[in-house]
Amino acid sequence: MQTQLAARIVDLREKVNMSQSELAKRLGIDKSSMNKIEKSTRKVSSEELDKIASIFDVSTDYLLGRSIPDRKHIEQETDLDKAIDASRSFDGKPISDHDREIVKKILRGYFN
């Protein structure tokens, strides 16, 4: 049985078309640990919870079931991810996860 935390992580990940492997990589854990988190058979550390909230630009309160996200926010996040996925760095290589987060923060700030 999935907890609300696990269900919200899966929901957010799927809404932005992110694989379980990609989320695990961005969290610095292996795919098997990510799978256990999503099945509620492994606890999430406070550091991991904070990273997940940052990746999806939601509050830890939302992840823990204390608030509901704005649907417009999820759609904007999906659009940002699609735009970043379609872009390349100046040398033609894919954007690193670190640079992706920086670009997203800059664009969020600009559009807000």
Q: Is the pLDDT of residue 35 over 70?
A: yes
- Distance in angstroms (rounded) separating the CA atoms of residues 19 and 16: 9
Q: Which pLDDT value is given to residue 51? A: 94
Task: Show the DSSP H helices in 1-112 as ranges.
Answer: 4-15, 20-27, 31-38, 46-56, 60-63, 71-86, 97-111
Choose the weakest-confidence range: 17-26, 44-53, 61-70.
61-70
Taking residues 46-75, report their average pLDDT: 81
What b/e string do you get for 52-84 counting C-beta neighbours within 10 Å, with b at 16 or more?
bbebbbbeeeebeeeeebeeeebebbeebbeeb
- Would you kindly state where each structural domain of the chain is located, as residue ranges? 4-63, 71-111
- Alpha-carbon span 110 to 42, nearest angstrom: 37
Other beta carbons within 10 angstroms of residue 9's beta carbon come to 25
| Range of weakest confidence among 28-37, 47-56, 68-77, 98-107 | 68-77
Fold of 4-63: 434 Repressor (Amino-terminal Domain) (1.10.260)
Residue 44 has pLDDT above 90, yes or no: yes
